[in-house]
Amino acid sequence: MKTYQTNGAFADNYKFLIGSIIPRPIAVISTLNIDGTNNLAPFSFFTAVSASPMIIAFSPMIRTSTGDFKDTVKNILREKEFVVNFCTEDNYSQVNLSSTELPFGEDEFTFSGLTPIESQLVKARRMKESPVHFECHFRDMLCYGKNAGSGSIITGEVKLVHVDESIMKEGKISTELLKAVGRGAGNDWFKTDSRFEVERLTKAQIQK
Ligand SMILES: Cc1cc2nc3c(=O)[nH]c(=O)nc-3n(C[C@H](O)[C@H](O)[C@H](O)COP(=O)(O)O)c2cc1C
């Protein structure tokens, strides 16, 4: 085994992160620009945090090309709300396009061929092509630096969940029908169609 001392170099550290932490789910975050147009961008540094209250987190890094916060962050800090949409086998090419750096105010839904629909609680629109939507209120932001590539954590409290009934089976979201895709290292993406079941051990079995 070779040992590496982590250093301040973004590229080296980033490669260890995206190579080891796989597969990563992809949150497609929609927010409202200051002029009322839509902003959309994918984030694979994304996880569930709390079930009660229902909290999710994602990690936008400072943009390497400008050293500035990404538009998603600026919009969330101003509007205090956002929507989490999900990336699937049916929408991943458009989601990938939505990560393009467009001039501020240019609508990433239009650019990517995705459809904005009104939300019920928040002003940010939902992505019609996503079978699940979480309408969120901004909760907290932790920042880990001001340099290009420095990350942060943004948490949101999920206030409304919308689920397309066609992906539900016996009252639950079916992994088979959701067809979520995730991100790996470099240009690698993952499908969720290669699954296996493992029964969780009960306390009695563990103590045997
Ligand atoms: C699949 C995918 C996952 C991504 N995940 C992240 C991420 O976790 N953090 C991040 O800062 N950027 C991530 N990006 C890059 C952003 O989507 C990209 O910088 C985007 O332009 C940000 O848009 P905004 O300025 O409208 O917020 C990802 C891109 C793709 C295609």
Mean pLDDT of 43-62: 98
What residue ranges line ligand 1, CB within 6 angstroms?
26, 39, 41-45, 59-61, 70-72, 96, 99, 101, 183
**pLDDT tens track for 145-204:** 999 889 999 999 999 999 999 999 999 999 999 999 999 999 999 999 999 999 988 887
Residue 4 belongs to a domain: no
- Element at 17 (helix H, strand E): helix 10-20
Q: Which amino acid is at 57?
A: A
Q: In which domain, by residue range, is 74 found? A: 11-207
For the chain, what is the domain count?
1
| CA of 45, closest atom in ligand 1 | 8
pLDDT-derived band at 64, boundaries 50, 70, 90: confident
What's the rounded mean pLDDT across residues 17-38? 96
Report the CATH number at residue 176.
2.30.110.10
Q: Hey, what are 85's tokens?
A: 């949409």
Residue 113, domain member (yes or no): yes
Q: What is the pTM of this model?
A: 0.96
- Strands 55-58 vs 152-163: parallel, antiparallel or unpaired: antiparallel
- Cβ atoms of 130 and 27 closer than 8 Å: no
Residue 1 lies in a domain: no
Question: What is the pLDDT at residue 110?
Answer: 93
Mutate to test the pocket of ligand 1, among 10, 18, 64, 99 (most ligand atoms within 8 A of CB): 99
Q: Which residue owns the Cα nearest ligand 1 atom 15?
A: 99
Residue to probe by mutation, ligand 1, list 30, 44, 72, most atoms within 8 Å of CB = 44
